[in-house]
């Protein structure tokens, strides 16, 4: 999906889902694919399923929160996207370098709420760098 090969991604998701009917990764990937295709209604409709398969105590929850942020960012919903980026960061994924270059976040980069969030993440990242090398 990151390479823009959406038809190939759809086939891969379908094949993976057929082989692994109980996988919890498929809803996240399918929702992102919907968003990348501009079908934001379908992407957002999958968010409750994503959250059911990745509740806050789940070890992958922070990745799910990041994916939800990307769905909203692709849609241009800055406030919602940053809300979920904050959740991802708070729950174990404070990945400033990724947030800085993630193409899925490009549409919201100029939003004040995103700029403020990134300034906070940069400061935290620099603090961690000083503290842990």
The CATH number linked to 124 is: 1.25.40
CB 96 within 8 A of CB 122: yes
d(CA 31, CA 33): 5
Answer whether 0.85 is exceeded by the pTM. Answer: yes
Q: What is the pLDDT of residue 118?
A: 98
47 lies in a domain?
yes
What total number of domains does the chain contain?
1
116 lies in a domain?
yes
1 lies in a domain?
no
Q: What is the pLDDT of residue 25?
A: 84
Token pair 């809803």: residue? 27
What domain range includes position 30? 6-132
114 lies in a domain?
yes
Query: 3-state class of 40 per DSSP?
Result: helix
CB 50 within 8 A of CB 62: no
How do the pLDDT tens digits run along the chain, 133 residues long? 988 899 999 999 888 888 876 678 889 999 999 999 999 999 999 999 999 999 999 999 999 999 999 999 999 999 999 999 999 999 999 999 999 999 999 999 999 999 999 999 999 999 999 999 7
d(CA 99, CA 50): 21
Q: What is the pLDDT of residue 19?
A: 85
16 lies in a domain?
yes
Q: What is the pLDDT of residue 11?
A: 93
CA dihedral for 8, 12, 18, 21, sign (positive or negative): negative
100 lies in a domain?
yes
By residue count, the chain amounts to 133
Q: What is the pLDDT of residue 24?
A: 80
32 lies in a domain?
yes
Beta-carbon contacts of residue 77 (< 8 Å; ≥ 6 apart): 108
CB 84 within 8 A of CB 114: no
CB 56 within 8 A of CB 91: yes
Name which of 3, 4, 2, 28 is nearest 17 in CA terms.
28
């Amino acid at each position: 999906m990151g390479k823009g090969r959406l038809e190939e991604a759809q086939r891969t998701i379908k094949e993976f889902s057929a082989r692994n009917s109980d996988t919890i990764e498929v809803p996240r990937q399918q929702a992102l694919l919907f968003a990348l295709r501009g079908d934001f209604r379908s992407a957002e409709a999958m968010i409750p399923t994503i959250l059911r398969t990745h509740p806050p105590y789940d070890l992958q929850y922070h990745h799910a929160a990041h994916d939800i942020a990307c769905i909203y960012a692709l849609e241009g919903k800055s406030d919602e996207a940053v809300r979920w980026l904050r959740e991802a960061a708070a729950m174990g994924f404070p990945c400033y370098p990724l947030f800085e270059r993630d193409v899925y976040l490009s549409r919201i980069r100029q939003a004040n709420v995103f700029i403020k969030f990134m300034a906070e993440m940069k400061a935290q990242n620099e603090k961690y760098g000083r503290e842990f090398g």
